[in-house]
Structure 1
Amino acid sequence: MKRIIVLIVMSLIWSLGLQAQTESTMTPDDVTPTATQTGLQVQLTDDVVAQLAVDGDSVLIGEPFTLTLTVSTVPGIAIDNWPELPSDPLVFEVLDAADVEETQTDGHVEYQQELIVTLWQPGLYLTPEIAVEYVRDNGQIGAVPLQSASINVESVLVNAVDPSLRPAAPPIDTPYIPPIVYGILVVVVATAFWLVLRMLGGGLRQIRFVTQTTPLQRAVAGLADIEQQNLPPVAALPLAADILRRYLAERFEIPATEQTTAELLQSVSEWMPSQRQRQLGQLLNQADLAKFAQHAPESDLTTKVTGFAIKWLRAIDGLTSNMEVTENE
């Protein structure tokens, strides 16, 4: 029994010695010293006054505002370790701290620092009480409390029953479109644009083809159209005569559409063969009779006149082309 008691006592002594050895090997970095732990007595004194001032009576939650930390001392006292407010990103956050400014007024030395801070919880908030350490000229070290500041934090919610913050809205999940889809769309749009231009280009080419036809081609097409319409001779002959006059005006640059039949035959007599002149005169005179004298020609005269007029046009156009070639040679 004695042996058991001795073993128990020795075990207790050994454990107490191990604990003491562990405490003696702790470094200063393992514990954050405070004013009390360093042996300083925190008490108010008229020689050193530390206080916080708030810029405004109330602030909005999350809104940056200014806190002014002021320490006023009598001459012969220095502030070696400037106090720092503890920052908590979820409640109290220090965004920026300006440099400490030192001024002397009315026999006092005043240290001042402006802090840009923000609060993240609505309601009444009191800044934490911390100790401000100072050193006298004789080496005596002391500490005074930093007076807390009261800040009213208002919620950004208007007429909210519950002033607590709401979670952020969920993100909008937009569908991902691969780049190849954009490439296909570009190709489709470009193809459609090319097809439209091709269709418009074909129409333009047809228009240019029509505008580039010769006076002979236009005159022959007009006479053929009259023949296909089966118009009565009273209406067809004046139209055929107008086509012949426009052909002469365009082909030979003479005012055929403004001249009478006699004037027109006189103007072409210098270069047109007499046989072609007589044929032209017959066509124009028959048209004048149908137009002005209301002469009623035979019903099949339209086909005869249009066919004869087409042959006359081709003969005159070929004759003038040969004359132009001979003049050029």
Structure 2
Amino acid sequence: MAKLIIVKRLILFFLLGFILAPFASFAQQGEVKATVDTESIRLGEQVQLRLSATMPPQGMDILFPQIPDSFGHFEVVRRSPLDTTAQGNTKLLGQTIVLTSFDSGRWDIPALRFDIVNNGNITDSAFTGPLFIDVNTVSVDTTKAFKPIKGLRTVAWSFWDYWLYFAIGISAALIGIGLFVYFRNRPKKVVPVPVAPVVPPYEIALQQLQQLKAEKVWQQGDIKQYYTRLTDILRAYFEQQFNIPALEQTTEELLQHIKPVTILNQQRDKLRNLLSVADLAKFAKLMPSPEEHESAMQQAQEIVEWTKPAAEKAATAENGKEEIKQPAK
């Protein structure tokens, strides 16, 4: 029984030794260091703290100490990433941390801990030794007189300090001038003036006669106005169509002036009859019968229809034929 217990203990010690051999190896052979490039600085100057550690055995990792941005009397200026260097057959991990201080005195950088990690667990730790940094004030010689404050120094003007602003300004000016010249000299769009359709004089006269008829002036008892407007429509038509000053002439003068106009002279008797009835109604207070009123309107329309241009007559006749040919709906 005793021999069995001794054998079990030997096996247990052998297993523990096999498991802990890498850690013992790193503890014996591994090394961590913290060094500074100087042990004395003046206020605001910088000191470089160099952290280094031997590469741990394969399958293990080492965690460098996490130094805060400000600790004790020191402040971290910048940090370098981890780097790897070789020393013979040994590889070293390293990091440089730049520190500064604004408090005078002798200050220590405490011991820093490096952790050994195996399979995500911290299995061992190693520590550096403490470091001391003397932070000195600037020495002032009080025996000397104070020097006056120096004035401002002017720096010579250089075009190359402002070339970009000049380039931007000149470019903007050229673009502005180009746009001004372009918009000033470009051809303006001519807006076509709508041409009002010219209404022939005979159409105007027929429209006015139709409007006079629709107003039923003589039916309302205003006989003088009816014949005045009726003859004025005809006289204005003669002036526009045949250049006869009809509005300024008496009935006899007008009948004399239409003789050279053959197409109008053909309606001479009809025009004489119409103007005679109109003169009696306007000036002699004659009261024509309703039949005579209707006849006067009809004669005026016939005179205009007869004397309109030949081309218009042909078009009117053609339209009339087409209307006759169309079947009744």
When the two structures are superposed, what TM-score results if normalisation uses the length of structure 2? 0.42
Instruction: Give the structure-1-normalised TM-score.
Output: 0.42
